[in-house]
Structure 1
Amino acid sequence: MTGTLYLLHAQSMVTKFHEIGFPLYILNLIGSLKIAGAITLLVPRAYPRLKEWAYAGFVFDLVGAAWCHFCVQGFAQGIKLLLPITVVAVSYLTYHRLNDPTATQHPDADGPLAV
Structure 2
Amino acid sequence: MKKDKIIYWVATGIVTAMMLMSGVMYFANPEIAAGFVKLGFPDYFRVELGAAKLIGAVALIVPQIPIRVKEWAYAGFGINFISAIITHFAIGDAKGTPMIFFLLIALVVSNIYLHKTKTAVA
Normalised to the residue count of structure 1, the TM-score between the two structures is 0.78
Structure 2: distance between partners of 1:12 and 1:29: 17
Instruction: Summarize the Cα distance change of 1:79–1:15 in structure 2 as closer, same or farther, 3 Å threshold.
Output: farther
CA RMSD of aligned residues (A): 1.9
Structure 1's unaligned 5+ residue stretches are: 104-115
Match of 1:55 among 41, 62, 74: 74
Question: Which residue does the alignment assign to 1:3?
Answer: 23
The range that moved more, 50-59 or 69-78, is 69-78
Higher helix proportion, which one? 2
Task: Kindly indicate whether structure 1 or structure 2 has the higher relative contact order, using CA contacts under 8 Å at least 6 residues apart.
Answer: 2
Asked if the contact 1:66/1:78 (under 8 Å) is kept, the reply is: yes
State TM-score, norm by structure 2.
Answer: 0.74
Between the two proteins, the alignment pairs up a number of residues equal to 102
Percent identity of equivalent pairs: 30
Q: Which runs of 5+ in 2 are unaligned?
A: 1-20
Separation (CA, whole Å) in 1 of partners of 2:105 and 2:46: 23
Larger Rg: 1
SS at match of 2:91: helix
Q: Which amino acid aligns with 2:26?
A: Y
Asked if residue 97 in structure 1 is aligned to residue 97 in structure 2, the reply is no
Looking at structure 2, the residues matched to 38 and 77 of structure 1 have their Cα atoms a distance apart, in angstroms, of: 21
